């Protein structure tokens, strides 16, 4: 089947990403080969690391650091390292969190992912959160685990916190864009759309062909301002797919 050439996230390299119009973004979404979702505060209602911190008794300190990281005022890796050094969660605590307080899906996400799958659009989860939590979310949405890109916690043999895998692209600022570039190369995708609530999602376009800002759980001013299409409900995306 012949594909139309993909519109670029940047119409002209001299123009900013905000110059991509809402209509162009909608068109790219309707004919995407793949859609990549952020997880925390997008696919799920909460920030996984904040929930883990609260569970471990250090919620207030870590929540403020998360706010700064998502707003783009400090590098993601620095924020992740500092937050985890405060939390120092054990393997047992992580497992208990998932059992006692499983991630809560954002309303409409299951219907949206099901619709994308029915249209043979590949769905990926690209998260700065933790793979053990994101895999649980992927299973609820029938997303293959090899379509999950997230950070890995490390533990000593006795289950105590031993750091995180710093080699994962999602541990770095700009890491989500690196994953999207890799997906394009591996799968030959021409049009990839990134959807998320934070600065690390916004900066993934390019190489994503389009970015859709999501404010259904939390509104981040920087992301809302720079998004050509900003939605507060996944129903808006479902309605757009009905136009095909």
Provide the annotated active-site residues: 38, 40
Q: Which residues lie closer than 8 Å to 30 by C-beta, 6 or more apart?
A: 240, 241, 243, 244
Q: Which residues lie closer than 8 Å to 170 by C-beta, 6 or more apart?
A: 126, 127, 128, 149, 150, 151, 176, 179
Q: Which residues lie closer than 8 Å to 239 by C-beta, 6 or more apart?
A: none
């Amino acid at each position: 089947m012949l594909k139309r050439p993909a519109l670029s996230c940047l119409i002209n390299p001299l123009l900013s990403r905000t110059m991509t119009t809402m209509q162009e973004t909608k068109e790219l979404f309707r004919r995407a080969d793949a859609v990549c979702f952020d997880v925390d505060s997008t696919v799920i209602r909460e920030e996984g690391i904040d929930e883990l911190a609260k569970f471990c008794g250090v919620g207030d300190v870590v929540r403020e650091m998360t706010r700064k990281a998502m707003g783009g005022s400090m590098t993601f890796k620095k924020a992740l390292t500092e937050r985890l050094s405060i939390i120092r969660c054990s393997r047992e605590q992580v497992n208990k969190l998932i059992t006692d307080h499983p991630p809560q899906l954002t309303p409409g996400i299951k219907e949206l992912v099901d619709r994308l799958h029915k249209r043979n659009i590949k769905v990926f989860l690209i998260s700065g959160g933790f793979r053990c939590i994101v895999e649980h979310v992927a299973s609820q949405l029938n997303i293959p685990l090899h379509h999950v890109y997230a950070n890995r916690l490390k533990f000593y043999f006795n289950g105590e916190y031993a750091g995180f895998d710093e080699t994962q692209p999602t541990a770095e600022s700009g890491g989500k864009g690196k994953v999207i570039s890799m997906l394009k190369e591996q799968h030959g995708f021409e049009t990839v759309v990134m959807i998320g609530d934070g600065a690390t999602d916004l900066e993934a376009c390019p190489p994503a062909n389009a970015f859709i800002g999501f404010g259904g759980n939390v509104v981040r001013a920087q992301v809302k301002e720079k998004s050509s299409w900003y939605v507060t409900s996944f129903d808006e995306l479902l309605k757009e797919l009905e136009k095909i």
